[in-house]
Structure 1
């Protein structure tokens, strides 16, 4: 990014900060990455993808950093690094429907190199911290208490931001967004990837992150659900609503993890 472009990008960005005990919560929201120019070239150079989504919010970031220096953030670049740049899994999963859906798709047919043109990602966040002094991740049988999260609490801070979006050459949609709410009892983050290829397939990949005040860890759950449209038992209007259709999809993968803070970490909210 050139110096002038860098200054302009900072001027356009809106930054919000919220201090939650030892946690510094930062939200940065900016404009869509331009279709050409140094910023675009710099962004694309870090990816192997032959094409990137139409709308990329390259400067958007949602970050939670502890006063001891460790934390986690969510951004578009790292999310797109999780997209398969060498293989088109949908072609195999729904071969006939895939061919029919893409028959008139110039955008896709112009691509010689196969890649996951739906931009499916299993992004679970980017850990922050120095080696040996950061968060360690381990599998766990402990689950996020959804019922506890349903208890009505005062919302101290809320964020909802887009990281990227693509209309799949008018064949559907692919979108990744981040939502966060901070309550007196802790904070909760939902990173949702929603993909719909019209008349072919719907997929919802969710990453949920929950921190409760006083605990020395966060819980993180990743789920991947999908089905071919013909197999989804739901009204047509449901298919375009990620919140509703997710309840009608088959669970394909689930990963439950405990994000442990360093032993020296202090988490006194006073």
Structure 2
């Protein structure tokens, strides 16, 4: 996916491009960077399998690809990567989706050994992003701060992301799409995890999307949207909306929708047809500095 940037518009909005070959920008106290890298090689896959304690991974894992949004003053990092997403897959451990063709699937590493479907081969994940705090040691003296002991607080709220305000009324200063992992389910569908980001003069917005289609059996869409409006005064807030949708092909057909998998390639249409099974909104209040985060 080609990164879209217009350096003149970025400067006019008070931002600047990242240097030294990095893809992204700094704007209104945020540093936003994307990385699109190649898939893991066989040695790296083996290392990941050992760390995740599994012998199953998606066909294509973009292990070094990522999206990072860092609030410079507080050190808060909201980031997205394949490893943490697969940790979520392992933790949720959904039962395998039953599909007739799956009995004929083969291990990719052992082509003559039949698959025993005792794991979630769809790689469905509840992942909605990772967060951490990068402390600026220049601001501290004495005891060393333990980053792992501090967690960001996402609070449930009734506020919603104003999607109408995100209509293309202002220039997009930066846009990128990062694929984290993908699997074609032995030509029986698709399992895909991506994250897209766009930065405007007034805000940044991202969509983390897990899309699953097991042909003739099941469709599953798990979306996480985040939106942060830039502020001249006061601390910014980040809204996070999670929406899970799911239905079988049989249930969709009963509602009069097509039963052909080819009818479900446009996810903008799919997202309106699939029923919601979970939805919530949370808010993160970003402090001015990391002392406010840690109460040091």
- TM-score for both structures, normalised by structure 2: 0.76
Q: Cα RMSD over matched residues?
A: 2.4
Q: Which residue of 1 aligns with 2:257?
A: 234
- Please point out which of 54, 60, 63 is paired with 2:59: 54
**1:19 equivalenced with 2:26 (yes/no):** yes
* Contact 1:50 1:113 (8 Å CA) reproduced: no
- CA distance in 2 between counterparts of 1:264 and 1:16 reads 25
Question: Which residue of structure 1 lines up, in the alignment, with residue 131 of structure 2?
Answer: 127
Cα distance, 1:173–1:181 mapped onto 2, change above 3 Å: same
Q: Which has the larger radius of gyration?
A: 2
Going from structure 1 to structure 2, the CA distance change for 1:133 and 1:216 (only over 3 Å counts) comes to farther
CA contact (8 A) 2:182 2:193 kept: yes
* 2:277 matches 1:252: yes
Q: Deviations over 1:124-148 (max 9, x none)?
A: 1000214687632111111111111
Of 187, 190, 193, the match for 1:176:
193
Question: How many angstroms does 1:105 deviate by?
Answer: 2.1
* Aligned residue-pair number: 245
1:222 pairs, out of 225, 230, 242, with: 242
The structural deviation recorded for 1:45 is: 2.2
Cα distance change, pair 265–113 in 1 and its aligned pair in 2 (3 A): same
| TM-score, with length taken from structure 1 | 0.83
**Runs of at least 5 residues in structure 1 that lack an aligned partner in the other structure:** 1-13, 92-97
Deviation digits for residues 106-136 of structure 1, max 9, x if unmatched? 3498344721110001111000214687632
Any unmatched runs of 5+ in structure 2? Answer: 1-20, 134-146, 292-296
Q: 1:137-152 to 2 correspondence within 5 Å?
A: 137-152=154-169
SS of residue in 1 equivalent to 2:284: strand
SS of match in other structure, 1:181:
strand
Match for residue 100 of structure 1? 100
Aligned match for 1:32, one of 34, 39, 42: 39
CA contact (8 A) 2:222 2:244 kept: yes
- Aligned partner of 1:10 in structure 2 is none
Give the equivalent residue in structure 2 for 1:45: 50
Q: Give the one of 73, 82, 91 matched to 2:88.
A: 82
